[in-house]
Amino acid sequence: MTRIDPGRWQELSPLLDEVLELAGEERRAWLEALRATRPEAAAELEALLLELQSLDAAGFLQSDDLQRYLRVALDLLVTRGRDESGT
Amino acid sequence: MSQNLEVAVPQQSHQQLFVALYDELRRLAQRKLRQGGAAHAMGATTLLHEVYLTVHARDGVVFPDHARFLAYASRAMRGLIIDYARSRQALKRGAGFEITSLPTEIPEQMVDSSDLQRLNDAVERLALADARLAEVVDLKYFGGFSFAEIAAMWDMSERTVQRDWEKARIFLHKCLAGNELSS
C-alpha cells in the first residue's frame, strides 16, 4: 500500500482535486492520460480512489455518533464547571 | 462599538486564545444550564456561534474574521471531546467516583478514548500536511457545520469543500490504518 508523507501529499493533492471532479469514463480517460506520463502517480491515485469508495461504503467519519458524543461532552463541561465553582 | 476594530491575531497568542475559547465554551455551557436548558440541546454549531458573539462583545477584538474564529473553536471542541473520552475512560477503570453521575448515552464503540486519541493525532498530522483540510475536518466533524455553511464562511463553492472533505477522509484513514509514515 502506498505511503503518504507530507511531500508526497503535496504532489498528489492537486491531482486528486482534478480527478475527484470526474466520474465514469471521463475519470478513466483522465487516469489513462496521466498513466502515460506519470504511471506511479496514476497508480497511487487509483488506489486512493478505491480507498475512498470503501470509506464511503463503511461510513467512515460519516455517522452521527460524534455529534451524540459531543452533546455528552458538553454535559461534562457543565458538570466540571459546577465542581470547580463549588456549587 | 460599531467601527471595525478587528485585527489579526499575533502568532504567539494563538495558544492563549485557544485556552480562552475552551474556557468560554465551558462558561457558556454552564450559563445555558442555569437558564434551564441542557447545554447539549443547542448543538455544537449554535454554541460556537454564541461563543463568538460573547468573546467578540466582551473583548472587542479577537480574530481577524468569523471564519477563523470558528475554525479555532471547532478545534477546541475536538480537544473537549478527547478530554471527555479520557475522563470517562478513567471512570470506567474503576476510580471511586459515582459513574452514574455522568451522562452515559454514548455509543459504546465511540467510548474508547484511544480511538479518539488516534483520530486526534491523525488530524494533527493532516494539519501539518494540509492545514485547510484539517480545518474542514474540525468544522465539519467536530464543529457540526454543514458543507454549505463552511463554503459560505470561506467564500468558496460547496463542491470544493466536499472535495476537501473527501481528501481529508482519505488522508485520515491512511493514518489510522497505519499505511502512512510521515517524517
Tens digits of residue pLDDT in A15-74? 999 999 999 999 999 999 999 999 999 999 999 999 999 998 888 888 666 666 666 665
Looking from the CA of B63 toward its CB, the CA atoms found within 13 Å total 22
Put simply, whether A1 touches B (Cβ < 8 Å) is: yes
Put simply, whether A17 touches B (Cβ < 8 Å) is: yes
Among chain B residues, the shortest Cα distance to A4 is held by: B180
A74/B29 Cβ within 8 A: yes
Q: Determine the pLDDT at residue B150.
A: 93
CB B168 within 8 A of CB A14: no
Looking from the CA of A14 toward its CB, the CA atoms found within 13 Å total 4
Contacts of residues A7-16 at CB distance under 8 Å and 24 or more positions apart, as own/partner, are A9/B129, A9/B130, A9/B171, A10/B129, A10/B130, A11/A41, A12/A41, A12/A44, A12/A45, A12/A48, A13/B130, A13/B167, A15/A41, A15/A45, A16/A45, A16/A48, A16/B163, A16/B167, A16/B170
Q: Strand locations in chain A, DSSP E?
A: none
CB A3 within 8 A of CB B178: no
Q: pLDDT (tens digit, 9 = 90+) per residue, B91-112?
A: 666 554 443 344 444 444 445 6
For the record, the C-alpha cell of B170 comes out as 482519505
User: A19 vs chain B: nearest CA distance in angstroms?
Assistant: 10
ipTM over 0.85: no
CB B109 within 8 A of CB B103: no
Q: Strand locations in chain B, DSSP E?
A: none
Q: Which of B78, B88, B173 has the highest number of chain A CBs within 10 A, making it the mutation to test binding with A? A: B173
Q: Which of B160, B118, B119, B114 is nearest to B136 (CA)?
A: B160
Q: Which residues of B touch A77 (CB under 8 A)?
A: 25-26, 29-30, 39, 80
Which of A4, A51, A76 is nearest residue B84 as measured by Cβ atoms? A76
Q: Determine the pLDDT at residue B166.
A: 96
Rounded-to-integer distance, Cα B164 and Cα B126, Å: 12
Q: What is the mean pLDDT of chain B?
A: 71
Give residue B80's pLDDT band: very low, low, confident or very high (50, 70, 90): confident
Q: Chain B, 61-120: which have a CB under 8 Å from a chain A CB?
A: 77, 80-81, 83-85, 87-88, 101-107, 109-110
